[in-house]
Amino acid sequence: MKIEKNKDISLLNTFGIRQFCDNFYFFEKNEELLDFHFDNKTLILGGGSNIIIVTKPNNVVKLRFDSIEVVEKTDNYAIVKAQGGGEWDTLVKFCVENNFWGIENLSAIPGTVGAAPIQNIGAYGVEIKDVLQSVEFFDIETKSFKIIENKDCHFDYRTSIFKNKLKNKAIVVSITLKLSVSPKPNLNYADLKMLSQKDNFSILDIRNEVVRVRDIKLPDFKKLGNCGSFYKNAIVDFKKFEELKQKYPQIPSYQHTNGVKIPTAWLIETAGLKGFKKGNVGIYDKHSLIVVNYGGASGNEILNFSEFVENSVFYEFGIKIEKEVNIF
Ligand code: NAP
């Protein structure tokens, strides 16, 4: 374990919120978690790409173990185990290089492997739950390592048991994925449809296309602090959707298991907030789902701005949009 005192964590959160912590712990091995005392002022930091830091943490814990192992390979599938401290996109790259199909649409999502199942990361019609077998986590209360199977993770749209019953109680130390060794492209989203019209495309072509599109649409957090999608898309019931459709015939929508999904970016834009700026914070002018820090914004300033956006959307549509990001 390595400890740094009074560490500046401004560059360790993609919003670029200026903050310090008293003690910063790097854990090199998962056993080091056993002797650590966790309290409610301890922040478990992944890639810092899905968090607004409002309160100064006493302690910050960062996992440094990051190995990737092919546990089993058959003619049909590969079982891959990845440790929680690794970069998510390094894992995607590894799987693409080995022709293991299933997570290529999840390319270039910032953050760590350990953070991925917590919010059931998703993009371009794929969610991690589709290929995840199990999650190994450290149970903070019982100080023991446990394995939870996919079916018990209560995965849903950008959520899981780790955001509910196990919130602040579990640290994901590894995940195990079951991936296909034969091609299984998922090109249903408009941004990827072009590829399906080609005679030939590889898993690497899909990854490259996802990376290319994301590079164009999303701001680089090193230049403009942000957390990617700040809000979840709205899911409304059919009655509410019909009401909205009467008033806004052009409203975009997608069928969803829990009702009808409406892109929150459209709600924000239609409420007149695309590119809207207040102080140091604003809605990105090229993508309304993204809140940006124009420089120097505090966690509270970002939080207050986001609440203003939520209230504006509620006033316009009667829909309560939910944050995708976490607050510490
Ligand atoms: P988009 O293509 O402009 O579409 C807007 C929204 O409509 C998306 O959020 C997506 O929902 C939904 N959608 C589009 N096509 C759909 C289809 N064929 N079936 C069902 N739903 C559909 O979205 P975008 O902002 O460029 O994002 C593209 C993908 O990357 C999305 O899946 C998005 O979630 C993901 N992404 C994630 C992050 C992040 O930080 N978590 C950041 C950027 C993009 P879903 O979000 O449910 O897919």
Tell me the two tokens of residue 246: 């009467």
Rounded to 5°, the CA angle 147-153-156 comes to: 160
d(CA 22, CA 54): 15
Report the length, in residues, of the chain: 328
CA distances from 253 to 232, 235, 317 (A): 14, 9, 14
C-alpha 6 to ligand 1 mean position (Å): 39
Q: What confidence score (pLDDT) does residue 199 get?
A: 84
Structure letter (DSSP) for residue 264:
H
Ligand 1 pocket: which of 186, 261, 286 to mutate (most atoms <8 Å of CB)?
A: 261
**What is the CA(123)–ligand 1 centre distance, in A?**
6
Q: In what order do the strands lie in the sheet with 68-73?
A: 68-73, 77-83, 170-180, 132-139, 144-149
Catalytic, 212? Answer no
158 catalytically annotated: yes
Q: Is the Cβ–Cβ distance between 52 and 227 less than 8 Å?
A: yes
**What pLDDT was estimated at residue 196?**
87
Q: Which of 104, 136, 158, 160 is catalytic?
A: 158
Q: Tens of pLDDT along 193-241?
A: 999 888 889 999 999 999 999 999 999 999 999 999 999 999 999 999 9
- The answer to whether residue 310 is catalytic is no
Residue 136 has pLDDT above 90, yes or no: yes
Q: Does residue 301 carry a pLDDT above 90?
A: yes
Mean pLDDT, the chain, whole residue set: 96
Which tokens in the block code for residue 108?
């270039």
- The protein residue with its alpha carbon nearest to ligand 1, atom 39, reads 229
Give dist(CA 201, CA 156) in Å, integer: 31
Whether residue 104 contacts residue 141, with contact meaning beta carbons closer than 8 Å, is answered with: no
Residue 258 has a pLDDT of: 86
In angstroms, what is the span from residue 174 Cα to ligand 1's centroid? 26
